[in-house]
Structure 1
């Protein structure tokens, strides 16, 4: 009797669906060897595939893979814009709004931002593990018959963001009834921040984990990551442009931000959310998630239950030392980008004493630089490789921090600060895109574990961001400290960039694409 075969078949509903024409119930694929028979009249028997608990089964050659449609790439790129707009508002203006507009103490505002980062960090691995469990949970069950496993989680997170984030940048209407209880306002905003950060983490992980699901090609994954980051930069540019327009059109006698400007932040956040929601709808309408991201096996008895494939388990992922090396690389990149985003407005306001409009214009220059850099980082990666590209970005980031520390005088305040903004944008763009590409390389073909890997890599980033902001705010002197935020930018951001280069050095002898355990 001839041995059973595994056929790789193209299917419109389930691409690359593995159909088993032999009785293989209970077997788990360990190392598939794809066999290409030579052109001859009598092809030799196919090479066997080793299984954990059974005889070897031969495997035929898979069909040729078609490139991703351009519309899919565009739709994927805009799928995170709502999150990016919220993140830009959160990191750039939350401390400013809480402290200057609402009159909170600095440590209370810092504690709320830390709470948000801690909730985000804790929600990230939970969402990652649940999203990777095929068919488990109400959201995943909804996705099986509607829009897809990843996109269903994306919808759930989007709803949580929309019902919470707008109120973070509005005055607390019920708090005026409890003026004697100083804890009411922090409690009110704590609830909103918690809901927002859980939703934000859900959208981020579901969107990132789509990259390895959509394509196995390294170059296409790099392209998707670059497009995603380009849209992120455009989102930040849009936020700063909207902020500049609102502040410019509603300019009063006061040149500085104050308690009377609460309505301006309300207008900014509502315009931003409307723009982000339009792109979210575009994402869900025009991007078709592969019907079976985690490939199913159909056994001979006609069962529609999934038979486990050669997947890397969650336990194996967390035992891989490369995961922690890549996580440190990503954390360094995110810390640099986030801390610069948080403290540039405060640096401009207190250290350089710039007018209100400059709080939007100079960050706008930085993100314009990020956008231009993100367009060419794909080619730098292809030409120089991941590690050399990250090295270039790290050096540019450190140069910007040194310039901030040593820059002074009218020439620096009026002109050189724009060059510094360009360097900050370019450095953060190169390091962030490259670190995400390295993460996609680590996932490789183990797309069923994509959400778990991304959640593990981003967990520490979110936690350390909140801790860093809390420490910086608690160390601030009580009086007028014109150089405090200059030093915070120079040493905190410069230190994270240097730490990223140290993490990169540990990856020099490591081949990220190697199979786990080798």
Structure 2
């Protein structure tokens, strides 16, 4: 029996607070500190680095604890960490996008010290919510197609969240600014009120969705040994299940773990770097009106939304690897188009960002589906896997942003900025897309989720004269081994 519709719907909204805050974080942190607060470029980069490194360090710890915590107040281990993350994000995030309280005229280094603790708390909460939410996917269903669907639904709400952010921000330009002011290409301190209002609105929206998620979704029971083996009729079947458990040390000895981590890291770098520097590119390189910092990202996520809706049928038809290559083609095409744009053909950027949205969405949903395939039935350590993947993502993003900010040709704005952001948006996302393709090639000879260094449960059961299969699986030779298709006992 498939996962009920209400559980799919409830799951899909559980990451909305993170999506809303991440949208503003990646799209507007640098431009906010750079143009609105007139912050030093290097310090702005370091602030992003502190956040990304904090997230990277927190994620493996949270993943391990999420796998080994019993939960609080009857919420279950995943939902308990989700609640902790929601509270942390809600209490810290508004301070990041509001000017320093009673220190607005202080030097940049003292403001940096003021903002840094709020950034760290926000990133802890963000990591707790992300890892607990992702690790629920293999807990909720053992069916690989339903897992792709949940990843697609999750990303669909990520896209909708981003659409909400950019739509609200665009309306704030209309409500809180004159037409003449909005036609300028540079954000100024006058625009600070727009960021403040935007942040308060999205945090309030996100809290509502998190509460609905906690009430709707029924988390499966804890996967203790007896519960993992529940549903297997013989002692041999149960012992086979338990022998194939994966601890965090087992994952570190698995080749596919590193291969998929590289694909996921490059995917996140592609999506996040393009999201961070797109607003600066359209205002400083193409000299478009300042409301384009909302319109262009909005187009990216509209196209990404439609791509996410097609992920389940495309993945079923083409498979993970071929679908990912389709995303790479769109993404590299967008980066190439961006390189040839200037003030004279600036309107073509709307076509380029459509490709950017299609490529980023396809790559991201498919890489998350690959991670679910890697975990397969080993949900007892699923949060660690997602935590480790996120570790590579956050650390690489932080380092990339700091390097880009350090290589910036000037401290504030200058004529050299004009060509710099074109190079950033072309060669950084484009370069990591090529690296992702090379990592994907190493996965071609193998099936994701099959671990030859572990006991093959199907082989073990057959050798012992036992035959069993899930309905509808007996004739499909491409399906995962028997263990991957067994139902997991849930409430």
How would you bin the TM-score normalised by the shorter chain?
0.7 to 0.9
Taking the aligned partners of 2:40 and 2:53, their CA distance within structure 1 comes to 20
Taking the aligned partners of 1:152 and 1:498, their CA distance within structure 2 comes to 39
- Equivalent of residue 94 in structure 1, options 25, 29, 39: 29
Evaluate the alpha carbon distance shift between residue 240 and residue 294 of structure 1 in structure 2; reply closer, same or farther with a 3 A threshold. Answer: farther
- Determine if the alignment matches structure 1 residue 387 to structure 2 residue 321: yes
- Determine if the alignment matches structure 1 residue 150 to structure 2 residue 78: yes
Aligned-residue offset at 1:438: 0.6
- Determine if the alignment matches structure 1 residue 129 to structure 2 residue 59: no
- 2:408 matched to which residue of 1? 476
- 1:413 matched to which residue of 2? 346
- Equivalent of residue 485 in structure 1, options 421, 433, 441: 421
Structure 1 gap ranges (5+): 1-65, 300-306
Taking the aligned partners of 2:445 and 2:208, their CA distance within structure 1 comes to 45
- Determine if the alignment matches structure 1 residue 333 to structure 2 residue 333: no
Contact 1:223 1:378 in 2 (8 A): yes
- Equivalent of residue 377 in structure 1, options 311, 319, 334: 311
Structure having the higher Rg: 1
Taking the aligned partners of 1:262 and 1:238, their CA distance within structure 2 comes to 19
Aligned-residue offset at 1:275: 1.3
- 2:334 matched to which residue of 1? 400
Aligned residues: 435
- 1:270 matched to which residue of 2? 200
- Determine if the alignment matches structure 1 residue 513 to structure 2 residue 445: no
- 2:486 matched to which residue of 1? none
SS at match of 1:488: helix
Evaluate the alpha carbon distance shift between residue 171 and residue 384 of structure 1 in structure 2; reply closer, same or farther with a 3 A threshold. Answer: same
- 1:81 matched to which residue of 2? 16
- 1:342 matched to which residue of 2? 276
Taking the aligned partners of 1:182 and 1:270, their CA distance within structure 2 comes to 24
- 1:214 matched to which residue of 2? 140
Aligned-residue offset at 1:111: 0.6
- 2:488 matched to which residue of 1? none
SS at match of 2:166: helix
Aligned-residue offset at 1:134: 4.0
- Equivalent of residue 247 in structure 1, options 165, 173, 181: 173
Aligned-residue offset at 1:342: 0.2
Evaluate the alpha carbon distance shift between residue 91 and residue 354 of structure 1 in structure 2; reply closer, same or farther with a 3 A threshold. Answer: same
Aligned-residue offset at 1:407: 2.7
Aligned-residue offset at 1:182: 4.5
Taking the aligned partners of 1:465 and 1:298, their CA distance within structure 2 comes to 36
Taking the aligned partners of 2:225 and 2:288, their CA distance within structure 1 comes to 56
- 2:464 matched to which residue of 1? none
Taking the aligned partners of 2:431 and 2:385, their CA distance within structure 1 comes to 26
Deviations 1:256-304 (A, max 9, x none): 31012211111001111111111111111111111334454599xxxxx
Taking the aligned partners of 2:122 and 2:69, their CA distance within structure 1 comes to 25
Taking the aligned partners of 1:187 and 1:327, their CA distance within structure 2 comes to 33
Taking the aligned partners of 2:224 and 2:274, their CA distance within structure 1 comes to 38
- 1:106 matched to which residue of 2? 41
Deviations 1:222-272 (A, max 9, x none): 100000011101111111001101011111343331012211111001111
Evaluate the alpha carbon distance shift between residue 216 and residue 105 of structure 1 in structure 2; reply closer, same or farther with a 3 A threshold. Answer: same
Structure 1 stretches (4+) deviating beyond 6 angstroms? none
Taking the aligned partners of 1:106 and 1:83, their CA distance within structure 2 comes to 26
Taking the aligned partners of 2:273 and 2:118, their CA distance within structure 1 comes to 22
Evaluate the alpha carbon distance shift between residue 380 and residue 484 of structure 1 in structure 2; reply closer, same or farther with a 3 A threshold. Answer: same
Deviations 1:167-202 (A, max 9, x none): 1010111324x73x6532101100110000011000
TM-score by length of 2: 0.86
- 1:63 matched to which residue of 2? none
- Determine if the alignment matches structure 1 residue 190 to structure 2 residue 116: yes
- 1:292 matched to which residue of 2? 222
SS at match of 2:13: helix
Contact 2:64 2:383 in 1 (8 A): yes
Give the 5 Å matches for 1:420-459: 420-459=352-391
Aligned-residue offset at 1:83: 0.2
- Comparing both structures, which one devotes a greater share of its residues to helix? 2
Contact 2:285 2:343 in 1 (8 A): no
Give the 5 Å matches for 1:25-64: none
Taking the aligned partners of 1:121 and 1:409, their CA distance within structure 2 comes to 38
Taking the aligned partners of 2:318 and 2:83, their CA distance within structure 1 comes to 38
Contact 1:336 1:428 in 2 (8 A): yes
- Determine if the alignment matches structure 1 residue 355 to structure 2 residue 289: yes
The structure with higher relative contact order (CA 8 Å, sep 6+) is: 2
SS at match of 1:338: helix
Structure 2 gap ranges (5+): 230-238, 455-491
Contact 1:121 1:459 in 2 (8 A): yes
